[in-house]
Amino acid sequence: MEIRITVVPNRRSPKVSEEMAGRIRALYRLGYTQHDIAALVGINQGRVSEVVNFKVHPTVPPAQGELFG
């Protein structure tokens, strides 16, 4: 029996823009989980947590209006 191991290169989430941070905070206020937001926005859950807990872009308020457009 042959075992193959695939090494996945270290993938980094893209940087979170102020606009993206506003959208993330709005989605979180609407009741989406951090996991779901990460999947929708295309970043990892840890990055979402940083935004939700105001460690990234602390002065950006939740977005209003259309979240995806």
pLDDT at residue 28, rounded to an integer: 97
pLDDT at residue 39, rounded to an integer: 93
pLDDT, tens digit (0-9, with 9 covering 90-100), for 18-44: 999 999 999 999 999 999 999 999 999
Residue 59: which pLDDT band, with cuts at 50, 70 and 90? very high
Rounded to an integer, what is the distance from CA 49 to the centroid of its chain? 8
> Which of the pair, 17 or 67, is modelled with greater confidence?
17
Residue 10 has pLDDT above 90, yes or no: no
pLDDT at residue 66, rounded to an integer: 77
From residue 59, alpha-carbon distances to 18, 25, 35 in Å are 9, 11, 23
Q: What are phi and psi of 50, to 5 degrees?
A: -60, -40
C-alpha R_g of the chain: 15
From residue 53, alpha-carbon distances to 5, 12, 26, 44, 48 in Å are 37, 20, 13, 15, 9
